[in-house]
Structure 1
């Protein structure tokens, strides 16, 4: 995953953390029960993690970037278990988590095949009846400009439902708002 300097500054900023807490997560997770053992894939700088830790008794986060994972461990290790690893092959136990979430990171997964492997892995580690939920941006000129020099592979909200169903999920919903999409899918 590559991120340009502007993107790194934005994602590590207090302004972004406030936006996540006040706007993004309330919208992305409205009516979602995280249950008692949640997994976040791709926490990045931890803006979501900081809020999620107060929403579930047990939180595990898988971060592919070792320096970011180390930073998360230092800052949030008393609130969550931080695993340095790949969201497409976490090595975590099958059917362990009551929910799996990821936010504004799918567009950094470099290929459609790897994105689909991430969906399959989310399904594998989710317990029956559990929810896979999250949000990501929608392709636009502004979204592309922020990602100059980044890995940038956005998922269209028109294709996401069928890709989640192909991974095994049921009751898939995708909604859009203001350049963002959110999804919910259930492991039946």
Structure 2
């Protein structure tokens, strides 16, 4: 039953998640944390962080991790692996299906005023969904009212340091490594 709910949830996310992975985060968070309570907002934030540092699209990576976590709630590793496969397949299926259909008709419709207008109309929506995902990670509103988010003064200091480093054009890989080292020192050594 839970694997079917996982499939339906990620199929819905795949169909309605316009704008890429970051725009999908608010939909994923709503399904996973709010609607089904498969994990807490803090656990979801951890999954988003892991999904960002692993290769591949964030929506697919997070689907794999969430599917594994949900499947493992039954206590069997095989169901965790099956949950990963189901969630990943479900989130990819709508995009694959739509791309096959769109590819057939795109050359005929790409100069159509209605299609062009629809695409332009979706741009502000995508920006809003990305902003909503950022706000959900900063200010979670899960089922536990006492739950704290992952933002603390150290997080803001790390953010500020990376922001300045990016502005000074420091290599992004170096920034990631330095952030990881700083996180280990701040949260596990001190």
Q: With structure 2 as the length reference, what TM-score do the two structures score?
A: 0.21
Compare the two structures and name the one with the higher helix fraction. Answer: 2
Q: With structure 1 as the length reference, what TM-score do the two structures score?
A: 0.21
